Amino acid sequence: MPPVDGYPSPDVAPDNGELTEIAYAKVNLALHVRDRRDDGYHALESLFIFASDGDVLTGRTDASGAITLTIAGAFADGLDNGGGNLVVKAAQALREHLGEERGAALTLVKTLPVASGIGGGSADAAATLRLLCRLWNAQIAADDLERIALLLGSDVPACLASATKMVRGRGEVLEDVDISGLSGTPMLLVNPGVGMSTARVFQGWDRVDRGALVADNLDRVIACGRNDLEPAAVAMAPVIADVLAALRQCSGVRVARMSGSGATCFALFDDEAAADAAAAIIKARQADWWVMETRIRPA
């Protein structure tokens, strides 16, 4: 049984002392920017959903006390595996909180694009906290774990559970939501190979408050939701508009938007056949774009 209630169960059973966690891709089904707070952060309202796929983190205890990270996978190039990586920061923060003396040898297989608006680094940090709680058999309250997560990044607390949530503030206000028809929906993620600076995209936001996000049902989120950062991101990287156009032209699309600060865009589909057909078309036309076929994780 996981030491901390309310977070995902192990995806892979222990094997010779090694544990595995999936760092599920985060998608902003809608992202409304309301105002800039006194502390410098933007007040956000966002409906977070999570893909059933993501980066893969494995780890085993290191009795020497060292925290080490090896990075592999399609998007490993250029990533820091030292103290600047959120995986290492998460491990060190949790160990300091627990007073833990053991270390961990961690391996991250990076399958999600970097700086792409789908919470890759935040999901990796959250997966690290979940894995090490199990690896070290940590006794820690869920509230304490969420406080550690928030110190690591605004999206990390929501990524702990990797389940559909309404997120407000800068990420510290989480509300469980169960929207009928959302769980299991086929979803396509597409990134044109452009890395985006979240800070620069926020700087480009036009500072117009276009109203609250109402997320009581999927139809309303599709009809009235939006991503307020999309225009600024498109201005910085016009290819994002090409991705959105390609997705919206596919048959069976219920909604297509940019996630987070970009450049990854997503589309929800009526059924798996429509998603498969769309993926095939986009891959054939844009061989250099990253495409992931997935489903929305349960709430």
8 HSE (CA, 13 A, CB side): 28
Does 276 qualify as catalytic in the annotation? no
Residues near 102 by beta carbon (within 8 Å), at least 6 away in sequence? 61, 62, 63, 65, 136
Catalytic residue among 53, 55, 155, 228: 155
Pairing relation of β-strands 18-36 and 42-62?
Answer: antiparallel
Give the separation between CA 288 and CA 264, rounded to whole angstroms: 14
Cα torsion 52, 188, 263, 22 to 10°: value is: 10
Does 283 qualify as catalytic in the annotation? no
Pairing relation of β-strands 103-109 and 67-72?
Answer: parallel
SS (H, E, C) 11-32: CEEEECCEEEEEEEEEEEEEEE
Catalytic residue among 26, 89, 110, 165: 26
Q: CA-CA distances (angstroms) from residue 56 to 32, 142, 228, 272, 292?
A: 30, 23, 30, 24, 15
Q: For the purposes of burial, counting CB atoms within 10 Å of the CB of 92, is it exposed (0-12), middle (13-18) or buried (19 or more)?
A: middle
Give the separation between CA 35 and CA 24, rounded to whole angstroms: 28
Active site residues: 26, 155
